[in-house]
Structure 1
Amino acid sequence: MAERIKREKDNRREKGAAAEQAACDYLAAQGYAILDRNWRCRSGEIDIVAELGRLLVIVEVRSRSGSRYGTAAESVDYRKIRQVRGIASTYLHYKRLEDREMRFDVIAIELDAARNVVSLQHIEGAF
């Protein structure tokens, strides 16, 4: 039983890492500079911090490999929005970037069983 749970957790981490890498590749191809990935503080983690000109973009990456729980974009709920905003405030203070214009984006990625990107949706100004 414990081995099965460990396998599922490892598989979930690998899928998340594949989705985040796909999101970074996409953003870089669109002209964004990636400043930080998986930036952590006591209250949580920011998946990607990117920059487009002087605009600072906080990106929440959501992925799904099946549709039984809804779409990846639908998984960003009020609790997650509140958490990401709080962590972003900590990030800005820690990095001394309080004067920067900021936007919150979501990148929703659907993966197949082999972790290949089936679809990628970039929602600018998602919240």
Structure 2
Amino acid sequence: MKAAKPGSRREVGQKGEDLAAQFFTDKGSRVIRRNWRCRSGELDLIVEEEGILVFVEVRTRRATGRFGTPQESVDYRKQRQVRETAQVYLHQTGGHDRQIRFDLVSVMLDLKGDVLEIQHLPFAF
């Protein structure tokens, strides 16, 4: 993957994913995969937490007051896409018998890129 330009949308997103992965690691969970891709889409993080396979959508925003909150950006279409992509992952890895969950991690950054808030929403959808 190409390096992102400083302050670019991709760099902001990558920082949010890094912070979310660290959040799960710090609480004792194991990050299995990052940015897993297939035809139907991408899964930001796949985490194992107390035997549960957790598919994590990470949304990061700068606190500009524009574009709403990170949580608001995960609409029905995005939820459906994440679910479909998770089904492909489970099919390819033989994990259909696993207990699963869909979480959202919301990361809010200030204009300099420093963390204002990280919010974990288990069972988000």
TM-score (norm 1): 0.90
The gaps in structure 1 that reach 5 residues or longer are 1-5
Q: Cα offset for 1:30?
A: 1.3
Structure richer in helix, relative to its length: 1
Q: Which amino acid aligns with 2:83?
A: R
Which of 102, 119, 127 matches 2:117? 119
Q: Which amino acid aligns with 1:35?
A: I
The gaps in structure 2 that reach 5 residues or longer are none
Do residues 31 (structure 1) and 46 (structure 2) align?
Answer: no
Q: Would you identify which runs of 4 or more consecutive aligned residues in structure 1 move more than 2 Å? A: none
Do residues 18 (structure 1) and 15 (structure 2) align?
Answer: yes
Q: Cα offset for 1:7?
A: 6.0
Q: Cα offset for 1:20?
A: 0.3
Instruction: Choose 1 or 2 for highest CA Rg.
Output: 1
Matches within 5 A, 1:1-127: 11-65=8-62, 66-127=64-125
Q: Is the 8 A contact 2:5 2:11 kept in 1?
A: no
Q: Which amino acid aligns with 1:33?
A: R
Q: Is the 8 A contact 1:72 1:110 kept in 2?
A: yes
1:99-124, Cα deviation, whole Å (9 max, x unpaired): 00000000001012232211011000
TM-score (norm 2): 0.91
Distance 2:114 2:93 in 1: 34
Give the alignment's Cα RMSD to 1 decimal. 1.6
Q: In percent, how many aligned pairs have the same letter?
A: 45
Q: Which amino acid aligns with 1:59?
A: V
Aligned residue pair count: 121
